[in-house]
Amino acid sequence: MFGWTADEKQSGAVLDAYVAAGGNFVDTSDSYMNYFPEQGNEPGQSETIIGNWLAARGNRDEVVVATKVGDHPQYLGLAPATIKAAAEESLRRLRTDHIDLYYTHFDRDESIPVEDIITALHELVKAGKVRAIATSNISPERLAASLAFSDREGLARYVALQPQYNLISRDTYEGPRRDIVQREGLACVPYFALASGFLTGKYRPGVPVEGVRNIPGMAGGYADTDRGMKVLQTLEHVATQRGVEMATVAMAWLAQQPTVTAPIASARRVEQLPALFAMQDLDLSAAELEALTAASS
C-alpha cells in the first residue's frame, strides 16, 4: 500500500503502530507500486518510504527487511547484471547497507539458467549486501532445480517461498510447491493473505468496489462466484462465534496451514491493524479449520 493508497505520513503511522505492537518483519519490492501508472504510481516508492522511516526512527537493526528484484521497469528480469544493479538501487532507496531477505519476484524468462540466478544472488550474500535469499512466483521445477544447484555447489540457498495463497487461491501453492517447501525445509510466506481485501467481507454482490480496488482481477471479482460467497459465509459464521473480525479468521486459517511461517497482509490505515494482530491469539479448532477448508474447496 505504501506509495499507492497510503502516502508517506500514513505509511509511517502504520509502521509505527506495527512495531509498537511487536512487529518486526516488513515485506516490500523494488517495483511497488508500478502496476497502475495511470494513478500516478512510481516504482520504488514503497522502498523509499520504508527507508526514510527506518532512518528517521533509527531502528534498522530491529527490523527485518525483505524486498524483491525482477519487476522494476528499469531492472526487469533476473539476468545476473540486472540483479546486481537492482540490488544497489534497493539499498539506496532503503537507506541501508544490507537487505535481510532478498526475493526473486517473478521468474518470467526461463531461458535464464537458474544457475546464473543463484550465482548472482550468492555473490550479493558473499559481499554482505544480502543476508538471505528467497523466491516468489516460480514454477516447482525451477524451484527444485535452484535448490539442487545451491546444494551441489555449496552456494546461498533459498530459505523461503512467497506464493499467492489464501482461502480463495489455494492451487497456487497447495500441491508440488508445498511439497517442495515441506521436503526442503523452506519457510512459506504467502502474499495476498486476504485476497486483496475480499476476505475481510467488505466486497459483496452488488456492493461497489472502492476506488483503487476497482480493477479487473482484484477483490471485487470473487464476490460474483458461488465459491467466493460460500467462503465468506463460513468466515462470517466462525468470526461471529469467536467474536472477532473475518480478516482475523482468514489470517488464522492461513497461519495454521502446514509449512506457513508468516502470512503477509497489507494495511494502509492504523485502524486496520488490530484485526491482523488478533490472528496471533486465535487458535482455530480442527472443526473450524475443516469447515473453512471445505468451503474453499
Residue 94 and residue 121 in contact, taking contact as beta carbons nearer than 8 Å: no
Q: 208: buried, middle or exposed (CB in 10 Å: 19+, 13-18, 0-12)?
A: exposed
Residue 117 and residue 153 in contact, taking contact as beta carbons nearer than 8 Å: no
| Mean pLDDT value across the chain | 93
Q: 49: buried, middle or exposed (CB in 10 Å: 19+, 13-18, 0-12)?
A: buried
User: pLDDT tens digits, residue range 40-79?
Assistant: 678 999 999 999 999 999 999 999 999 999 999 999 999 9
User: pLDDT tens digits, residue range 170-223?
Assistant: 999 999 999 999 999 999 999 999 998 999 998 876 666 665 554 444 555 676
At residue 37, the pLDDT reads: 62
At residue 202, the pLDDT reads: 86
Alpha-carbon span 245 to 74, nearest angstrom: 40
The answer to whether residue 143 scores a pLDDT higher than 70 is yes
User: pLDDT tens digits, residue range 22-47?
Assistant: 999 999 999 998 766 666 678 999 99
Of 2-11, 76-85, 129-138, 171-180, which gets the smallest average pLDDT? 2-11
At residue 41, the pLDDT reads: 73
For 138-162, b/e burial (b = at least 16 CB within 10 A) is beeebbbbbbebbeeeebbbbbbbb
Residue 268 and residue 15 in contact, taking contact as beta carbons nearer than 8 Å: no
Q: What is the mean pLDDT of residues 125-145?
A: 98
Alpha-carbon span 279 to 116, nearest angstrom: 39
CA atoms within 13 A on the CB side of 33: 16
- Give the predicted TM-score (pTM) of the model: 0.93
Dihedrals phi, psi of 269, to nearest 5 degrees = -135, 145
The answer to whether residue 230 scores a pLDDT higher than 80 is yes
The yes/no answer on whether domain 1-162 falls in CATH 3.40.50.2020 is no
Q: What is the mean pLDDT of residues 78-107?
A: 98
